[in-house]
A and B are shown apart, each in its own frame.
Chain A
Amino acid sequence: MRRRKRIEELFFKILTGLACYSLILVLGYIILIIFKKGINMLTLDMIITAPTGGYYYGGEGGVLNAIMGSLYIAIGATVIAMIFGVPAALFINSHLQHKPRMQGFIRYLLDALWGIPSIVYGAFGFMVMIMMGMSASLLAGIITVAFLITPIVIRTFDEVLCTIPRGLHEAALSLGSTRTQLAFKVLWKQGFSGFITAVLLAFGRGIGDAASVLFTAGYTDLVPQYLDEPAATLPLAIFFQLGSPIPEVRNRAYAAGIILTVIVLIISVSARLMSRKFSKTNLN
């Protein structure tokens, strides 16, 4: 009997361990391939210059246009998503706290929105853009990506807020808080790490998404200066360069992939550090 238990234990340990480590292996392999193919092309020029005339045939230049376009779009969209998402998540957890059905319905809706493929958001954004008489531009891209990531901000923040114990709600209310004061003075602080996670996740999704900006942001070799100008993005830069018959240009796609990955990594690591720091010292 004991022998059987030991064998059983060992079997499942190997099985679960295999699942876990193979995942890490695959991830490592992906990153390795991207770096292997792209690292030689990753020069300083690649990062700090925009494409020149012959760039797509292997000529001089870089992807500064796409780096800046992607950053502008992701930052703009994340800011919009925060402006709508933070109050929405707080509302769900304060004013709707005693209406569990409504809460459930809204959460279900947001989950559905989260699950909609980004190409659908792209098509929707495109339609709105046409209706408003706009052309593909930084602004249209920002708005479309904001649609895509707002449900992510709300639900991610909400997931943390709804783990806040009822007792803390009761404590704040019994001291005389209104529900709004509960939301902005207590839940906000208590759920701050959730807010950071939400922003980070949304930003990562926003900067890496190609389909939503495909029709709405356009593409250009210039770094955008105004909201109504078209903007290049890293995912599309990768897409266009990968389609080139010239091997050198294809490798540049991997270099752009490295840049995108590193940006997301920097954002995520610094946000984690910030979240840790804030949850300790954010006592004002």
Chain B
Amino acid sequence: MKQDNAIEIHNLNVCVDDQRILKNINLQIPSHKITVLLGPSGCGKTTLLRSLNRLTDLYKELKVTGQIFIDGEDILKPRNDIYEIRQKMGLLSQKPYPLPLSIYKNVTYGIKLKGVKDKKLLDYNVEKRLQEVGLWDEVKDRLHSSPDTLSIGQQQRLCLARGLAVKPRLILADEPTSALDPHSSKTIEDLFKKLKDQYTIVVVTHILRQAKRLADHAVFMHFGEVIEQGSPDEMFSNPQSPELKKYLIDGN
């Protein structure tokens, strides 16, 4: 495995009954860059992202075959420390799902699972992570109240902070701005650009403009297949496949 790839996917197939949702995906995701998975709705982006932290386990009907190497080990091998593997990645979903706990405890949830109990360390983490996502000043006076009082955009940033707290290597984001207003969306996008120095980020989107704004590496998917990938400048200015050409026209 090359050092500069955070994830290597080999021959990944996901099927439901006799329908193939993902078809022979071969993909390298470079470290410390933002990789954008772009494609129309229903092309399998979410499924691909779910495969990366084995949330596909939650759906018995999904048959996953192939290999996904993260840190040199194949995470698809049946094994019981999937919980550790999942802590290597923070997940951001389409809608924020704060845990039914206080703001403070949302951030410490993952750390506590790791066995950290020291109050000072927890306090330190809460402040640091919330500052990282630019939420500290907004919530520092109500750390122990429910996240329900936060706006959707703030909740999404809380979810990001909560994910960062377990010290992941990767951030997986599934259309993270689709429920947000333009201003909050921009905040999240700016955060990703800032965070990519420390993390490898995979962002799923169906919004072409967002892909152009964010991507260091772009992957275009269509009907469960990776059609094209490469640097966004090249790909979007000079598309090779008819599918991407059509998508670019429709998207603009």
A: residues with CB less than 8 A from B are 97-100, 165-178, 181, 185-186, 189-190, 280, 283-284
Contacts and interface: CB of A to CB of B under 8 A. Distances in A.
Contact of B97 (A171, A280, A283): A171
Q: Range of interface residues on chain B?
A: 20 to 34
A171 B93 CA distance: 8
Contact of A175 (B93, B102, B166): B166
Contacts of B55: 170, 173-174
B6 interface: no
B53 interface: yes
A171 B159 contact: yes
B113 A98 contact: no
B136 interface: no
Contacts of A99: 60
Contacts of A190: 100
A284 B106 CA distance: 10
B54 to A, nearest CB: 9
B1 to A, nearest CB: 24
B172 to A, nearest CB: 8
Given A166-B58, A175-B110, A283-B100, 10 more contacts: A99-B60, A167-B94, A170-B58, A173-B58, A174-B86, A175-B87, A176-B166, A189-B99, A189-B101, A283-B101
Candidate in B58, B59, B87 with the most chain A CB atoms within 10 angstroms:
B58
Interface in B48-74: 53, 55, 57-60
A176 B84 contact: yes
27 contacts: A98-B57, A165-B97, A167-B93, A167-B94, A168-B99, A169-B58, A170-B91, A170-B93, A171-B99, A171-B159, A173-B58, A174-B89, A174-B90, A174-B163, A175-B110, A175-B113, A176-B110, A176-B113, A176-B114, A177-B83, A177-B113, A186-B100, A189-B101, A283-B102, A283-B144, A284-B101, A284-B102
A175 B99 CA distance: 11
Given A175-B163, A176-B110, A98 B58 contact: yes
Interface in B94-148: 94-95, 97, 99-102, 105, 109-110, 113-114, 144-146
Contacts of B166: 175-176
